[in-house]
Amino acid sequence: MSGNLQLLAGTLARAKRENRAALIAGMTAGFPTVDEGIAAIQAILNNGADIVEVGLPHSDPVLDGPVIQAAGDIALRGGVRIADVIRTVREAYQATGKPVLVMSYWNPIDRYGAERFSRELAGAGGAGCIVPDLPVQESALWRESAARHSLATVFVAAPSTTDERLRELAAAGTGFVYASSLMGVTGVRETLSTAASSLVRRIRSTTELPVCVGVGISDAAQAAQVAGFADGVIVASALVKAILGASDAAAGAATVAELTAELSRATHRQGD
């Protein structure tokens, strides 16, 4: 049984003590290949990311924008399997000792088996799972399996989420609450939605869990803006895009390392 739910909580608490937001970086497993993806994730964790979310590629990524979709397509064409995602978690955790989450749609987990997935994720050192399309009222099977293996269950709240539903997901979730900064799919955007800070305030009125903001955070300036009001800053598409645009895997790893360092510096609040 994994104690990495506690590691996740401790990581977020340490960032708060240090007067900064935690940097949560996302990267698709198996992209560009399994080994190259692992190298990229380790570069991210070694250059300032506090936590990483490993994306489980899915054939019907309805909530993902074109950047994450492209990475998922590459991974799926390369034959990535859930075993490769678990291996990615294991190697990232063993190399860095930092919390590693999986970001997945519910269908692949359900087909694999919630108990089997939870057991293998915990055995690999994983800290939990973000399942953006799993409604709270249909989540009991997953939450029971996750709890047995000391895994966090992170729910996603959107600006359109009602106050009643916010209370439900905050009560059911563990680790932190993922606040989507805007309606729509993931992706790089030039400006940050003004709805994010309002959503964070609404979530905080329902729970003492940390609130981390993602979707649409593209650069250090936007990360700094979010760090001013959230407990964590979640960046995925910008990092994936850097690898998509790189000439080779080594260049991609170097580029994401540099971008991660910039983002990490931006999460330190003014005066720190």
Catalytic machinery residues: 53, 64
3-class DSSP string for the chain: CCCHHHHHHHHHHHHHHCCECEEEEEEECCCCCHHHHHHHHHHHHCCCCCEEEEECCCCCCCCCCHHHHHHHHHHHHCCCCHHHHHHHHHHHHHHHCCCEEEECCHHHHHHHCHHHHHHHHHHCCCCEEECCCCCHHHCHHHHHHHHHCCCEEECEECCCCCHHHHHHHHHHCCCCEEEECCCCCCCCCCCCCCHHHHHHHHHHCCCCCCEEEECCCCCHHHHHHHHCCCCEEEECHHHHHHHHCCCCHHHHHHHHHHHHHHHHHHCECCCC
